[in-house]
Structure 1
Amino acid sequence: MNQTYVMPVPPFPLDPAQEAKLQGRLSGFKSGYDEGYLRGRLAILDGRPEEPLPVRDLHVMYVASGKGYPYSPLDEAVLAALQTLTTRVTVTDVRQNLVELAGRERPELIFVLDGMDLPLEQVDALRASGIRTAIWLTDDPYYTDFTMKIVSHYDYVFTLERNCIEFYRQLGCREVHYLPFAAFRPHYRPTLTRSPIRRDVSFIGSAYWNRVHFFRGIMPQLMEFNTVINGIWWDRLPEAPLYGERIEIGKWMSPQETAAAYSGSKVVLNVHRSHIDDVVNNNTLQIPAASPNPRTFEIAATGTVQLIDSREDIATFYTPGEEIDTFASPEEMLDKIRFYLTHEEERRNMAIKAMERTLRDHTYTKRIHQALTIIYGE
């Protein structure tokens, strides 16, 4: 049910100074009301328990990426979901002797995250012993020069990029499935009290060259708002020193810090990295990306409006214009920022719907349940 704050009308005329003072006070009251109403609605959603899913009588050996941050929060999310949905989980990582460990613990499934540093002879030995093996690839399509060499060693391949499915099947993988990442609720949730962070617009992410070029042409207009950019490599932007602390350079933010920044922002921008980047990518075939990045789900989970550059598969997960909004150019993005900063009710409703959809459909528990159903059936 939508709520509207109605400003009271004074019963007598005011002089200009009194009028300005009253309008400022009423504007402050309205701002407080709007934020209180939004955070109250988000608190109700945040307090709802997740839909219970069946627990399988299954022993899984979870092989963590072994790469540390920023992969470790993904490991935490996947592990928590496995522990919720199976009766036993043995935890290890790519640096251990998995063959020896599996010989002692006798798991029924080896589930690997990333797997780039896992010796393939160990995977082959595990598979030869009759244990099912599965890998969830974390960076498709950006490192397909490497992943194409490892996927055929697994029984099941899960990719977060739809355009990689047929590519891996052509390499001889029989079981390739689309499984995007999600939002881990303990990490990504809204600030439920009045947020200490007060931003109009946020962007959090590394300064890949396509992002630098995208933002550079509109920086004066973008910085007319209370905009803050966080992430590594932003010294690539020549104008960065002009904006001081509003462009934070060289810091990896924890999930909790990131969630607080999202939740304290009226609008959060999501600009995907490019599948063409000779500096950091290893994607010689230039397989394009159609699927949303993990931040899509994480932003939505914090109860804020997200403006995301259009990708082919976005509408599979969120309804554009209702739960999330898209843009096809920097100019369209600026127009939509202006709209949501001046249309409180629309902004609030979109933020609530995005969080509701995320908690219903896009959690790691849901994703791992999907993976286990693919492997073992209903």
Structure 2
Amino acid sequence: MNNNEFIMPTPPLPLTPPEEEKLRGRLSGFKGGYDEGYLRGRLAILNGRSEEVFPVRDIHVMYVASGKGYPYSPLDDAVLCALQKLTAQVTITDVRQNLVELTAAQRPDLVLVLDGMDLPLEQIDAIRTSGIRTAIWLTDDPYYTDFTVKIVAHYDFVFTLERNCIDFYRGLGCPEVHYLPFAAHLEHYRPTTTRSSVNREVSFIGSAYWNRVNFFREILPDLMNYNTVINGIWWDRLPEAPLYGDRIEIGKWMSPQETAVAYSGSKIVINLHRSHIDEVVNNNTLSIPAVSPNPRTFEIAATGTLQLVDARDDMGSFYKPDEEIVTFASPQEMMDKIRYYLTHEEERRAIALRAFERTLKDHTYAKRIYQMLQVIYG
């Protein structure tokens, strides 16, 4: 045989069905690893960017924490962290202290109260009379308006996270009512940028309000066909919960850090708002409807995962639907979108990354406190 002679290559032997299955599994594993690595790498790059720096105001703020403990204490941490970055001096106290004596001794420029449900109103009245500005940031609108209706007129400035409460409070004689939803506290809510210790397809974390129980009951078998985990208190209200063992966790408050890890380790996180009508837990006799996003909207987005959220009228003011966040209007529409995005990795990843970038830019507590101080001081 000379060197120029062509030799026909031996054709590969056909794979047996078990070999084909093994090859498909290997290729799927390679793609899954690539997709996961790409997402974590992009999140790491965005996560490493410097945060926006806001000017520091030469003012002394006395911050009055809710005094309620968990789950309000993480909100206190978030607000306090932002205040310490944006003001010259912060004094920390809570509703159990004698604020009249404290303000008389320290003379802050502003007393900022979170929640304020348990704060004696005569103390706020005395502080205002002494010439110190007061502000309250309400935490649970519109669900406890039976209580807030009695306290808002005692403050110079009222900040609410529910758009529909603005005119309601102004109608009570409050001249300075402003819309200021919560945000993502980046010390608590960040994406896992290395391989996550959690590996879920779908997560839901939240209390089992009755509207959520009824919503999930309709599609629970389909939802649990995926690697789905539900966490939160009161899920013993769901009759089918025992069928799924520890995939429906009952009776546990998760810390922000645990929650962030679970979010970031999930391909899709469901955000289903509580109803403004709930005779068991709400105190909203006027049935003021809720149209604004809950705090979880920003916290989920801050962990770099795709969020499926029930549509609320004001959601588009914060995230672009189908570009930065995905909405649904019914259980079946939610299931259709879960099926779609679990099989369209690039689209899922792109939306999650855009939401994360938008959150870093627009929806941090530093940004919110900066806006609050602009309202109060110009």
Q: TM-score, normalised by structure 2?
A: 0.96
Q: Which runs of 5+ in 1 are unaligned?
A: 1-9
Report the CA distance shift for 1:106/1:193 in structure 2 as closer, same or farther (over 3 A): same
Alpha-carbon shift at residue 18 of structure 1 (Å) = 2.2
- The C-alpha deviation readout for 1:187-206, integer Å capped at 9, x for no partner, is 00111111111111000000
Supply the distance in 2 between the matched residues of 1:139 and 1:347 (Cα, whole angstroms). 31
1:218 is paired with a residue of what secondary structure?
A: helix
Q: Which runs of 5+ in 2 are unaligned?
A: 1-10
> Residue type of the partner of 1:128?
T
Supply the distance in 2 between the matched residues of 1:344 and 1:11 (Cα, whole angstroms). 32
2:300 corresponds to which residue? 299
> Residue type of the partner of 1:89?
V
Supply the distance in 2 between the matched residues of 1:16 and 1:243 (Cα, whole angstroms). 33
Alpha-carbon shift at residue 242 of structure 1 (Å) = 0.5
1:6 corresponds to which residue? none
**For 1:315-354, what aligned pairs fall within 5 Å after superposition?**
315-354=316-355
2:49 corresponds to which residue? 48
1:189 corresponds to which residue? 190
Alpha-carbon shift at residue 78 of structure 1 (Å) = 0.1
Report the CA distance shift for 1:294/1:11 in structure 2 as closer, same or farther (over 3 A): farther
Q: TM-score, normalised by structure 1?
A: 0.96
1:5 corresponds to which residue? none
2:277 corresponds to which residue? 276
Supply the distance in 2 between the matched residues of 1:66 and 1:23 (Cα, whole angstroms). 56
2:20 corresponds to which residue? 19
1:208 corresponds to which residue? 209
1:112 corresponds to which residue? 113
Supply the distance in 2 between the matched residues of 1:226 and 1:89 (Cα, whole angstroms). 45
- The C-alpha deviation readout for 1:61-108, integer Å capped at 9, x for no partner, is 000000000000000000000000001000000000011111111100
> Residue type of the partner of 1:98?
L
Report the CA distance shift for 1:352/1:182 in structure 2 as closer, same or farther (over 3 A): same
Report the CA distance shift for 1:16/1:164 in structure 2 as closer, same or farther (over 3 A): same
- The C-alpha deviation readout for 1:90-144, integer Å capped at 9, x for no partner, is 0000000011111111100000000000000000000000000000000000000
Give the percent of matched residue pairs that are identical in Structure 1 and Structure 2.
78
1:248 is paired with a residue of what secondary structure?
A: coil
Bigger CA radius of gyration: 2
Alpha-carbon shift at residue 268 of structure 1 (Å) = 0.3
**For 1:1-378, what aligned pairs fall within 5 Å after superposition?**
13-377=14-378
Alpha-carbon shift at residue 13 of structure 1 (Å) = 4.2
Supply the distance in 2 between the matched residues of 1:124 and 1:181 (Cα, whole angstroms). 26
Which 4+ residue blocks in structure 1 deviate beyond 3 angstroms?
10-13
Supply the distance in 2 between the matched residues of 1:277 and 1:110 (Cα, whole angstroms). 33
Alpha-carbon shift at residue 26 of structure 1 (Å) = 1.4
2:118 is paired with a residue of what secondary structure?
A: coil
2:249 is paired with a residue of what secondary structure?
A: strand
Number of aligned positions between the proteins: 368
